Structure 1
């Protein structure tokens, strides 16, 4: 059963990718006919007749650039060529057979002919490598395959296009400079042809963050290559070297520079860029000076005069010159000022933020942006509330201000954060903000906001039985509901609330959470209302805090923040408080009641990604401590509708920093000892 299915799949692929399939079949057929599939073709008497290179063209064998394409020199090379054909297949799938064949033929013939044209005059110089390669013959389709692979890279979406180009060019350049042969020269020329044809490598047009990331990876790679090539033999254009030869001083200097500036480059610091550019210029001058001497007296004469093996030093200098070209092209990306204001000056005050909320409204979490610890970035009428944590500009909720300014505000905040060397992201943002972020940004659900519509709210029917029962029981037991403000309550009541809250915190082993979860300090805001459940004896059995939701120039609803109950008090106190609050706010004319989204309590699909895995791990850790999942289930008793809240971020490369930023934002005052104690508490019997 399995074999016919496999055959059908292969046949289907061959029909969809006829050019790639035909080339594969020809290569295999020629390999069988020439025995090249199991014996080295380089030893065959036919080799010199079909192989391409400068000697073949000088001898008048004009057909060799075509015939040599379909032979492979050694059997093990068939495997990487077959893998490389996947690039041609992708190119053919995206752009058609004619385009794929054009890139293959153009890359193959162009690389073979141009390399011969370059080696012909180079062999006249006192350059042993050029003289050796000018007399070499080669076979194989690898230049054309590399050309197709490069053309396929140009079809990738941003930011993966630049990343793939960087890897491809880096691998081919390093291979050529340190271990280069005729085949490696042809590969570089094939890639150069593709770059000239489609001009898809434009590092200046990618986001600033991406330019810095590529520079960081390149600098780290150069440091690793210097160490690797110092320890291993090389056979490249600059000569051959034995293991542990060359100048260890050069390797040490390069390593120190990499360790010094790598993190600065990643963060876009100007000083790091200047240092690398100066070092690149020194390498370019060294390469130029030694190159002139080599042309005059030859490499052996220079090394004999200086009593020094220049092979690795020159190759290293060449790689640093390539890095210098890239750094100059993207120089505008290295002007980060990490402590610079992210918005227009002056930054808005808390009073101005509150005024904007009242004027243009906001979401269910918007009042949290007025809490301590928030910073503000203004862009015209738009305002973004955020925190700087672990190199992340962590924005809370949606931008404030008119809806028509939201997209421009989001883009401006992202641009300013990236210029400052920060990773921008939005936590608990809504659909409008999700639609406003740049193309290619990732999103994942972090919570479901639970909204209860108050218009015509009646606790009737079987569905509301639990809430109705709690209200009736409270009436029988003499419980009193009171809605007020913290400052209006007596000293005795405030002390009871503090005692209940401190008792709740003391049982957790971790301090009260922040960011989207308030404390009594935030509840003291005169705009925040407190719902109290008071027993016949005058004891407060539980309390809630409600944050205003502004809109249409008025308070259009309320968001639940604090939920605290006294141990041993009235059983269904929370159902009683929320139900009574909903009735009261409905009578006042409010439109909605948000029971807020329980953080870390969303159920993710299996393919949700790394940040979902991080949040699920945090939820598992903190559930016995904070009970987010049980809180989420409790809110379902009020039959809310749900509005999705997202974490919006650039891509997976930011997740490590975002995870650290969220941890510090939610638990800004937690110590390592408290984290450890909470972890131990989870594994105790009965927990």
Structure 2
């Protein structure tokens, strides 16, 4: 019995070794070397001299073998832990992506390149008299992480779009942050190895050679920006625990660890000689004589972490908060490095620009926060959850009011009682500058001698309190706009709308529950409402009325009056053709914009010659061991959910335009527990394809499902999508569901109209989007299942507004598209045909006359 137990236990071990041989070998090497040379404090001085990389002017590299031996050592226990974890996670992941042989090759090559090129850069800096290079040139260095970072960077070329982008962005950002905030030789080696790995990955055979930029989904872009913001926020913590802190942003860490210097000594030395890192550190440390400055240096980073959380959850307020803090840090950096003159007229740090190191510090310190702010502002369209105006106003009033009150109190105390620290006269300008300094992180305080301190103990305590109190107020006030409800629709409106959806509606009714919709409820009929979104001056509905309206014509007319009161053009989009009579009674125009493909599961058995292709696809999937999983998103196992996200990201990356919205959902909208997923799972739990299905209700009972997402893995089994739909039909037939809708391809119809007039406008818009999104190809695929085609209409009261409606449709489907791009897409709607406006006006006049008669 014990032998069988041992055999069972050895099975997973052998499987792990077979799948991760190189990462397992590296873990064993790290542990063995650490055990022999010292697992807690690292090797002694003699071993470091012989086996670590030591740079020197007399010998550029002390021993030729150290670039190879240095990658096997860990300097201390935390470094050993990081090396072991990095080997298991990152090297193991690289082995999965490109195999152990390529991983081993990439590890060795990138580690050697990292040390060789990195050491060359440091030596070049020493020759150029760069203070940073001189300060680290004698440090004995070991870095087991360089090869790990280089290997995973190379492996990114073998990953799909989702993980390729994540690996490259995060590994590069981590390496850059360590260089900026710590600046040790090992950090330089790691960054060079990462860059080398990115280049090596493109050269390795069988890599996915797509070096061009690929588009992200809205959710993925939010994740990446949130991660970047969080990394820039934790950088000072890295500097705090770094033993050297000589990177361009290292003084932030020096501030929190260095003792206070004498008031006049550092300034005098900085005025007499060119600025150095030591001079800047002493200038900053001079102001640390209590806990207040330390808290002021840390709390803004907490605000950035809060902003990162909001970014990950799609909060538009987090964009402005993160951009605002980064812009503030950039401006403070400009003041610190003397690019912006100070009000006191004291000595400026700008003289340090004679020093090459100081020039680099200035560029990085200023450009990094400005670049982060620019990235957030450019991507703001991808953060749809807006904060109420009242909440934003309260935040501004709270923060501005706190600053004015605390700054006024500080200025009054300094004016009533002060002493000269640097021998300068306490002019109003100097007193104001000293007041503002109390709210500024110490890292950005220059050496202009503006600081004036009060004489009494109580006033000194107050000076240390005002800054932390302000930033804590700013952080606390941000909780409401970051964690509160969005303003797309009040919670009670969303709840009421979901209740109406359960009462009834067309096949698109469940889409009205998605974020981005607003709701109008019929005041005369509590069982009817309309979901809409305002784009420009056009109010586009998502399908027809929801609920069970007693009189559809009256509900439509009531919504039209509501839009008229607000100056909007009402447009009912993708509504069932059964409502055409109601629009005719109101004198509206209506045109077919799509055709819904509808199946009846009860009568569909895929028998006969006409279903041969579908049966062949199902049989092929069965032969290849593909199984179907029908579940809600809440019940989907996490490892399968991650694959669905990766497949969706591949789909988005393949498009030349952004991910679409409006009546086309994404994974975010399909996480609702009421949604159903049909997932095709191959051997080894590999997801081949999946489809999502939105419920259609009648009197609280699900009577049908409508397809939303339909995505397959690149290189998936041929016919797997037909397999998933056939499995859905079988499932719904067993459950007694009445109707299965394959949905409609937007702006695509089986019968195209003439190329002029109103229908011609929509056809030209469809033609412009077809090369990117393939709506007509999608319709052709759905026709394989021989569905009943039900026309979906677009109804509008005034045909003259058609160009504005076309522009609104493009902006609704592509919300992240700029106005200029949207105008270019539909420029034919208004100007391509010079006689179009006249024909539309004539047709509108005829229609109005007919309605009056």
Where on the TM-score scale, by shorter chain, does this alignment land: which range?
0.3 to 0.5
TM-score, normalization: structure 1?
0.46
TM-score, normalization: structure 2?
0.39
Max radius of gyration: which structure?
1
Higher relative contact order, chain-length normalized (CA < 8 Å, sep 6+) = 1
